[in-house]
Structure 1
């Protein structure tokens, strides 16, 4: 069972992702609606993978990941970004800050679990 923390401000996307990952049966999912909430939850939770929305009010996904990386137990946890702005330059920039992968929105709920598993195997 892979422990995943999902940080997404859109409640509908959180729900679709949770249903998709629950259906796959390979994930224990903790969800957060903002970067600040995620940073609070990871104080005593160590996920196997971090799934982050890129554009959120307050802290962006990138800022959230930068703060998470300061915590020793999260320094090497694979991070995957989800974004509607998946242009080549932005994808490269996210990979340069440590993203294991970038998933484009809208995403395919039926393949989300496999996309995550493939990204953390790379």
Structure 2
């Protein structure tokens, strides 16, 4: 059985590197890492064109730097290549979101930054209801 594939989207290169190591080495998952929503869509479009496997989940940083970050994220989430992939937010603003808001946005859950690297894969697996191997 192939390993799970996670598309990781985080604009901070150092955090992205830490997340990639945590998800790959501790979680045992394959990780495809990009720095923006735009790059994430490009990767998914290329994978679709080449008939390669889609990610099993997306871990998405929410920087909240722009005034319409949620609007941009909502457009990303509802894109036809993405709307059936479970999404987890990882953000310093995790407490801003209620469970109901996440459900309305079709997001599985939110993990707060700063996060504990050793517990992160377990948190993600729990949110996605993935059984540990």
TM-score over 0.5 for the alignment?
Answer: yes
Between 55-64 and 36-45, report the one with greater CA deviation: 55-64
Residue of structure 2 in register with 1:4 after alignment = 6
Q: Is the 8 A contact 2:23 2:121 kept in 1?
A: yes
Residue of structure 1 in register with 2:126 after alignment = 118
Distance 1:96 1:40 in 2: 25
Q: Is the 8 A contact 2:61 2:89 kept in 1?
A: yes
Distance 2:41 2:65 in 1: 15
Instruction: Give the superposed CA RMSD.
Output: 2.3
Work out the number of aligned pairs and report it. 120
Which one of the candidate residues 44, 61, 70 is aligned to 1:42?
44
Which one of the candidate residues 79, 97, 108 is aligned to 1:70?
79
Give, in angstroms, the shift of residue 70 of structure 1: 2.1
Which consecutive residues of structure 2, in runs of 5 or more, have no partner in the other structure? Answer: 48-53
CA displacement 1:34-89 (0-9 Å, x = unmatched):
11111100113310000000116678476245324322x432211000110122x5
CA displacement 1:82-117 (0-9 Å, x = unmatched):
110122x52442332011010000011101111111
Higher strand share: 1
Which ranges of 4 or more aligned residues in structure 1 deviate by more than 3 Å? 56-62
Residue of structure 2 in register with 1:90 after alignment = 97
Cα distance change of structure 1 residues 65 and 14 upon mapping to structure 2, 3 Å threshold = farther
Which consecutive residues of structure 1, in runs of 5 or more, have no partner in the other structure? Answer: none
Q: TM-score, normalised by structure 1?
A: 0.84
Q: TM-score, normalised by structure 2?
A: 0.78
1:92-107 aligned within 5 A: 92=99, 93-107=101-115
* Larger Rg over CA atoms: 2
